[in-house]
Amino acid sequence: MSVTTYTVSGMTCGHCVSSVTEELTAVSGVTAVDVQLDTGAVTVTSTRELSRDEVEAAVTEAGYALVG
């Protein structure tokens, strides 16, 4: 089990949260996604360690940017 927190910029509403959650949940191995809209923190729980590229691709597909 792997739990990692990322920062995502550009999210402003509940629809943003839903889009990011949907794209990250579609990544192989992801079991849970928790998005904190006020801080941009996105915690991803997965059955395997995810590469930053995988996470960034999903966030970009949702229309947002991974920070840092």
pLDDT at 37: 95
User: pTM for the complete prediction?
Assistant: 0.94
pLDDT reading at 68 higher than 90: no
The CATH code that applies to domain 2-67 is 3.30.70.100
Strand 65-67: give its sheet, edge to edge: 30-36, 41-46, 2-9, 65-67
DSSP states of 43-58 as a string? EEEESSPPPHHHHHHH
Q: Domain ranges for the chain, please list them.
A: 2-67
List pLDDT tens digits, range 15-63: 999 999 999 999 999 999 999 999 999 999 999 999 999 999 999 999 9
